[in-house]
Amino acid sequence: MTTIVQGGKIIETGYGMLTTKGPSVAPTSSGNLAAVSGPCLITSLWLIVTTVFTGTATTLNVGTAAGATTLVNAATLTSLAVGSVITGAPIPNASSYWNSQSNTLVNVGPIVAATGNITWIASAGNTGQLQAYIGWVPLAAGAQIS
């Protein structure tokens, strides 16, 4: 007998549970992307462009209760095409990486999100839209990201 594994179950094996948000336009004042109830280990964050971004200079920050840029720090959204991917921290399958712009080693480990919200903010108004995928593992009974 053949067992067919659904795509979502394969993702859960590598990255934990998966919460999908959007597509949405990133707000220009701090907004809530997702709610965190109880401690959760964030294993991954991907933002995929679903509507093209204009040439307006725009950056994006995504954070947790620990800080406004704990997941994405000033990612450039300017002129991104549909299908472009922004990868937030932690970077999948990496514990550190070399930032060639600042010439520094950036340590990327697990990020524990406490109860609160995952927030996001864009530096300028834009019509581009993003679909967010957040991989996470609950660290206490009933903990979740929704």
Domains along the sequence of the chain with CATH: 15-139 (2.60.120)
Least confident of 17-26, 65-74, 94-103, 115-124: 94-103
pLDDT, position 139: 92
pLDDT, position 107: 52
Measured CA to CA, the distance from residue 89 to residue 110 in angstroms comes to 8
In the chain, the amino acid numbered 106 is V
pLDDT, position 4: 60
Reduced DSSP (H G I as helix, E B as strand, rest coil) percent helix, strand, coil of the chain, to 5: 5, 50, 40
Mean pLDDT for 54-64 is: 91
DSSP summary character for residue 9: H
The model's confidence at residue 115, banded by pLDDT at 50, 70 and 90, is: very high
Q: 9 burial class (0-12, 13-18, 19+ CB within 10 angstroms)? A: exposed
Task: Dump pLDDT digits (tens) for 78-104.
Answer: 999 999 999 887 655 455 555 666 655
pLDDT, position 13: 53
